[in-house]
Amino acid sequence: MNISVVGTGYVGLVTGAVFADLGNDAVCVDKDPAKIEMLRAGQMPIYEPGLEELVHRNVADGRLSFTTELEPAVRRSDIVFIAVGTPPKASGESDLSAVEEVALGIARAIDRYKVIVNKSTVPVGTGDLVRDIIQRNRRRPIDFDVVSNPEFLREGSAIEDTLRPDRIVIGAPSQQVAMTLLELYAPLERPMIITDVHSAEMIKYASNAFLAMKISFINAIANLCELASADVTQVVKGMGLDPRIGRDFLQPGLGYGGSCFPKDTDSLIQTAASLGYDFRLLRAAVEVNRERAQRFVALIRKILDPVEDRVVAVLGLAFKAKTDDMREARSVEVIQGLLEAGARVRAYDPAAMANAKAVLPAVEYCQSSYDAADGADAVAIVTEWNEFKLLNLERLRGLMRRPLVFDGRNIYEPERMRRLGFEYHSIGRRPVFPA
């Protein structure tokens, strides 16, 4: 099939590359000329495991190309995916201006029947909005349909998630329209849910809101464990074995960040409010999440007191492991809190330092974890990168001025840290002190 994907970010680029790999002819469109230039030169604008190879292979085979020109891309396509950003407004509502702009562009370009598929995360009713914009602005009364096909990929495993999604949700106005998408996705052989457009839009928000609530729930339990002298790791084990609960998304830590959960929870709260429903449960989950970073900073400040001129080595800047994405990363709040308290911050991240420099200029960026820890009064683990789990902790301790570790992601065993001679503070577990 001939497809175009408008918006060449984490979702659009991966979607375009995977559809090309499945044998389709895919054009990725973006309004950012620098991004398209890079891609045409074979460079990836984002870090995503396996992406470069996938893109190179499909470009070489002539199935994948990149352009800033929406109109010709739309004209040659049977299916047009909208995968542009839907960032939050100050009010918490989703900013749909990019979706609206693309819908307008499609309206001007449309010259024969097409299926317009919304992959961006958008509030219920946005499919209707896109249909209205195209209907009002098309130059001739050309027929078209609008489908909602929300995306569930996770940054860091985006290709695997796109090739093997748990489910493919297709919200279409009729079975016949849904068939076009079924055909496109058929080679993946994954479970598909065919539903109406509004329900598909809601499935995406309900899923993200539920996962965010799970994270906030276990973080609230971690707070309680600290007060009750219980160990949240044991609590998670005991809860997670219940198949009705499961272990996924029950990792206590600094809370959720990234480009999806914070904005999607806020957006759903706003949608609910606009429909006359106060989503108190979700508001509480957001509130619990908001406190996480400040709580961590308060702990570091208390133990290091006085903090002025103390050196804190922050390991991990990205909002989660295996990505370079700094959007809503907890590291920003943690580091700003430490800097405001007068600490010096040295930081290291395996992938996100280039992006971090733009938001955190007052940090000393280091070559490695060991480099960051050299002469530090404390190490703070902020992102759960695997390489931090595999550090030579004896070497790390030997470099530090004081063997003190604050683990915001619970990546180490407290007993091991004690034996290795660290003072070790983690989330929802008792602190340990050198033997």
Residues labelled catalytic: 260
**By CB under 6 A, residue 16 contacts ligand NAD:** no
Residue 100, CB-side half-sphere exposure with 13 Å CA sphere: 7
Q: What is the contact mask toward ligand NAD in residues 60 to 89, using x (rule: CB under 6 A)? A: -----------------------xxxx---
Residue with tokens 């809601």: 202
Backbone φ and ψ for 159, nearest 5 degrees, come out as -70, -50
**Binding residue count for ligand NAD, defined by CB under 6 A:** 26
Q: How far apart are CA 113 and CA 93, in angstroms?
A: 32
Q: What is the contact mask toward ligand NAD in residues 135 to 154, using x (rule: CB under 6 A)? A: ----------------x-x-
Nearer to ligand NAD, 171 or 428 (CB): 171
* Residue from 289, 311, 308 nearest 380 by CA: 311
* Binding-site member from 52, 78, 95, 101 for ligand NAD (CB under 6 A): 101
Residue 246 Cβ vs ligand NAD, minimum distance, rounded to whole Å: 21
Q: How far apart are CA 158 and CA 136, in angstroms?
A: 36
Residue 22 Cβ vs ligand NAD, minimum distance, rounded to whole Å: 19
Q: Where are the beta strands (DSSP E) in 59-157?
A: 64-67, 79-82, 114-118, 144-148
Q: What is the contact mask toward ligand NAD in residues 229 to 268, using x (rule: CB under 6 A)? A: ------------------------------xx--------
Number of residue whose CB is nearest ligand NAD? 9
List of residues 6+ apart from 191 with CB closer than 8 A: 166, 167, 168
Nearer to ligand NAD, 88 or 414 (CB): 88
Q: How far apart are CA 354 and CA 351, in angstroms?
A: 8
**By CB under 6 A, residue 11 contacts ligand NAD:** yes
Candidates 30-38, 106-114, 133-141, 415-423: pick the segment binding ligand NAD (CB under 6 A): 30-38
Tokens of residue 297, six digits: 């900073």
**Regarding beta strands 25-29 and 64-67, do their DSSP bridges make them parallel or antiparallel, or are they unpaired?**
parallel
Residue 216, CB-side half-sphere exposure with 13 Å CA sphere: 21
Contact residues toward ligand NAD (CB under 6 A) are: 6-12, 29-32, 35, 83-86, 98, 101-102, 120-121, 151, 153, 155, 259-260
